[in-house]
Structure 1
């Protein structure tokens, strides 16, 4: 009995000892820091988490010896950082720590004790630091009042419930994978309008909302001076200037963030809890090259399959690892003050702003002489739209190239500088200089041109003569135009419009990529889909039927997809228009179309069926309500719902889509569209066609998913 009592006493002693040490082991992984507590960079276990474990606050390292006091998403794969205290001054990997001092301030010190960052609270009333489920790090008083909060000092990210006001600003990182402050900002301007601005060492330029339009045309108002905006938990963004949007996956239960990205675009990201990866569910600019200054001084932004930067002839990249530094001249800029210069033409290109003067009704030669006679001129832009428009440039900033831009930029360089023009719209990789340029040489006499330098005169003459012949014999002209270009001029205009977003492939490229159209993936009323490989990437190539039967569908599909972006809509990489050949190049989805999984033996599980139904509904909701145009798909069926590796659905085949302005009455369809069995009664009853026809088709798909 005595022995038993001794053993019980020992057990009790060890239990109490363990219990006394237990709070110490947990103190750094809880969500409170008391006065006097600190977090050390050397102890990997020193961090605090939000009560629901969504966010973590602690030291975040990059490289071998650079650390930041940061807040990040705990469950994201890359531990995505949403706030940093010392974004421009990293601390050492040894000896650095963050401490709640006795005077109430939270202080970050480096290895030598230098104060790198501290809160602006020096009141002794601070009781503790607390980390909230919203991702907000706060200092509280003894009664629970907030004396300081990280939400008042955001870096590049706006979290739901963070109120964005006139006193706050989101500033991008300098580059991907960096915390250093960059040049792009989201802020409320003095006119009460929420804006994006490029604030580089060279210039400050507002680029969103569209600076070419007035406040009201952009759908904003400047009458509300409260200047406040917020992203709520459902994915809705509301601003006092009447700007608002919804994330494409709007709804509760999804972790989101609004980030001012390093490329100058403002985006909403949604977290996939199962993979830890982020998906873009909204972005401010569909065309990334509309970001002013994204490529730096003298550089040109070109949108091929993705936006890229390139240098004009006579220039080279300043820093290959940082396009914000732009391009530098290969020559002494003082040489431009002499008349021994030439002008290198870059078609379909412009540099936004910095016009010394704007002149109308002038010839190309007169525009060139204006630049030649002004030592401040770096180049000029000239466009011929009924009459000549001349823009003389004092600086080459905000460069942008687009196939449908109706002008050329002429850059002034010394006559002895070797120049070449990059094939910016067709090159697989954009580098500085690859092919010969059209050059105009400046000289005292405006008529001192050789035959090569006046090539444009013959081009204009040929176009005029051709137009006259076409007017005289319109039918023959149409036939000739069709044989020469393969499509009518209106469709060619559409191709030029979307070429800034998609790549145009030749028929021979796609024939080789598909091994002479050997492996068929599926077929439907609009064409046959083949498996192919382009640039070591699997693609699906849809070969459309005869041009006279599918031309409208082809143009509608590429135009529609060019205007929308959603995680549940299939992405198109490019197209082919060559003679009678009409093809589309899509992303390849591993699990093919939904019909393969509901009419075959490898039937989807109930959880997968639910995910497919939900994703398809989100995609259709985006088409009907969220994108810039009101889109009716008109042919919702399992064959047009593709599945990726994780069986996430993507709606495809917009060739039967109907576009109209959301506010407009819309025009009636001229013929029945869709697939039997999925077509709503409106088609047969000749009733007005609305988005409900897609809902009907979606309902039939749901029934098939349930019944098989």
Structure 2
């Protein structure tokens, strides 16, 4: 037998790969003392370079590493090996000179069976650990004592077998003689389970190619799929699959213990060859970069340290997945719930890693996510939480507080007294100190409550002089709004600097003081990834200023109305983000907020072009049990103002819906809401957009934008949503909740009516 043939047989048995044969051969026999040495020329070496297999008289085959340490042996218990022999079937036999066979590879299988090989009750195969790691893996193929052939996962540390994900069904409790007791792989290429009464249960159910022309093997693969393969003996071809089990390992592996077909936090998808493909979801990466079938770790910290429920929920978002589930990771269920409630509640839950929303039910998933699977039969939507890069709340370092030094001295002095006093006196002093400190703290908190006209917040309170210095005497103006001018500044400490936007409020309203207090109070407790974050304030005499995070990419107006038309997908994402921010203001924050001035100048973009709504909280506040407020003055900007501002009508959150509809049309078309340079017929975007929609000329509306036209279904949906939003009758406008549902495809968008049935839109400006 040639060295190549011997190497091929060793490969089939999953013995280590060797490319150098240093043995004398005579008709397939191997003498005691013969060796094989690994030189690592093979693509997948099983052992280090220099490892050696030697045939010894006392132990049979012995594998040593390059340092001579024994790694494995065939463990001959009785007798002395005289010779090794490789049969034509591929069975490697160790024999003595007198008593015959001492050990053979067919009786000690690893992950592969060959023609003529059988497997007895309580025998089995085990997979390799990974594609390139030949140590023992976690999958097993076993014939149980009861006669059932099973595939199962085993715990590598203990060997404990989990529930089977394939069972042959060859156990007959009514007739034990009908149960299986041996797995056969006959010379013709058929595999079957031999029953005790002589009957058989076929594993190979299709007609096979002739064994005279093809090699055969049956292997438990490292990914848990057991398959029978054939290969042409002429060498012209590849290993092909005759059959395999299970049909869909991603799903059939079930939801028992362990991670499933793939690692923890991974998702299993079935390939065309019925083998699993594993992938980490967004926000996760492989724990071991060399093991693509292994577990995934989150690229962020998802824990309850430092805040518990609701902690930093604005820093996270969801990646939507369809036909995916992690069936054994549930820890909570909410019903009846809608999709928005489902996602928002998960964002507020520091344990929640993912949610499944289906038919009014919301299932919360915890880490590690196990048995992740893709299956077209899985209904509902999966949303996996991930960290928004760049959305970490900017910190404004505080300078040392003189009060802290006083408190420190007080503590030190108290400690000195305690050390020099009796136990009773110490106890009395401790009680007095705690009570006194609690009284002082309580008094300070009450002083900062909103009931007495001040502000309940932990925002940094700046002096006017600090902000004057931070802005270089308010030198660099970066924007103007309805309530004042915005300047760029830098807050400096000994260790760091933070860029900020300082809004210097003017007194354009008679009740400006109350509005300022309301804005600071509400914004200080309002947190969402699509809102600009307030960092601090100044309330000193006539000077009232707000300090915000500074966003480098400026306003949406500059983004949309520049010389180059922005990417279509980026524009649609921005529209979705603005809708989410408005929904939060209207329904999800503690006190409902009507913005009243939604326009591209009040939408800022961060480093990742995430949309952030600014200037909210300046308008009339509504408590949670209110739905309407009487208008006091027209607020907003020409081109975005809802019709009810001009009538003796009640003002509701629908005014923001109207403004969002106009803004959405601007995002779609990249043109301003009112542009006299376009000519009288086209000057008002809302009128022109409805004409384009009604006449089927969406290509004209987007200026022949190829990206938008290639996404014509989405384009049509966005235009219809915008027309619903700009309905003259507020009762016809959807809520922001429904707007977002229509944008996300949760609710179907019906054909909108003429938005101005009562009056010409020109009369509104």
TM-score when normalising by structure 1: 0.43
Does 1 or 2 have the higher relative contact order (CA < 8 Å, sep 6+)? 1
TM-score when normalising by structure 2: 0.41
